[in-house]
A = this chain, B = another copy of it.
């Protein structure tokens, strides 16, 4: 069974390495618009061969689309046009509603499985890929009733091979929850980075001495690349605006407590926030 990987970056590369580690499938074919990524992917054993997109579509039994969400939206209908009814295609995009909408009425919709393996890191490219990126992380399956049972079963085999937990949601639910669980934290991090870069553009060196692990962890996501993240923000725009508003509202509450010297309320605010431990700390 040939596996075709479209997009040989962090996600596509890690899926390939994760599957190959468990001897899943036979030949791995790849394509990437970035020639350097493609070369690295072969050197790193992510794929056996780089071939043109058209050939990859025809020669693969399973196609994995791991490219920015705007590109998934653009090329998914064309790929569905070209595949046979035996081929299975799955995507790994961080937003799902627009993608699912785009192919909702496609005659071969059932060959497509919409998934989001949640395990990105701030680094990108095939050199950041590793076989355990997805180990014991969650993969969200969206609108799975629109996919054929054999397609879902194959996608489940793929993710369970990498030891991922599988969660089933509608694409709309997915985009709502993920706007808070991932997209808002990225906006927060980009904004904090820009705040300190602007404030200390003339005294970077002193400021650098004053940064501890607190700033490091809150700006970690700020090195994430625009090629991946701008399309995510565009695709999840409405949810994200609401999430930013909710967050700014909480920030303003804190700010006003501080401004008005309502310190007992800040004490309560911190104690409430401490409960995040139950949700976020594994």
Interface residues, chain A, with chain B CB atoms under 8 Å away: 118-121, 137-138, 140, 165, 167, 169, 173-174, 177-178, 180-182, 184-200, 204, 206-226, 229-230, 233-234, 237, 240-241, 243-252, 254-255, 258-259, 261, 263, 266-267, 269-282
> In the complex the two chains form, is B255's CB within 8 Å of A177's CB?
no
Q: Are B212 and A118 closer than 8 Å at their CB atoms?
A: yes
A127: min CB distance to chain B, Å: 16
A249 neighbours in B (Cβ, 8 Å): 195
Chain B contacts of A219 at CB under 8 A? Answer: 185, 276, 280
A268, closest chain B residue (CB): B226
The reply to whether A217 and B214 form a contact with Cβ atoms under 8 Å apart is no
Q: Tell me which residues across on chain B come within 8 A of A248, comparing CB atoms.
A: 248, 251-252, 255
- What CA separation (Å) do A199 and B273 show in the bound complex? 13
Of all A-B residue pairs in the complex, the 7 with the closest CB atoms, nearest first, are A193-B276, A193-B273, A181-B210, A226-B270, A190-B273, A177-B210, A185-B218
List, sorted by A's number, 30 A–B pairs whose CB atoms are closer than 8 Å.
A118-B212, A140-B210, A177-B206, A180-B200, A181-B211, A182-B212, A185-B219, A188-B192, A188-B251, A189-B273, A190-B270, A191-B247, A192-B250, A194-B273, A195-B246, A195-B249, A195-B250, A197-B275, A198-B250, A204-B278, A216-B280, A216-B281, A218-B221, A224-B274, A225-B270, A233-B266, A237-B258, A241-B255, A247-B251, A248-B248
A209 & B263 in contact (Cβ 8 Å cutoff) = no
A211 to B254 CA separation, bound complex (whole angstroms): 24
- Whether A217 and B215, one on each chain, are in contact in the complex, defined by CB atoms closer than 8 angstroms, is no
Within 8 Å by CB of A214, from B137, B221, B266, lies B221
Provide the bound-state CA to CA distance between A244 and B151, in Å.
49
Complex CA–CA separation, A185 to B218 (angstroms): 6
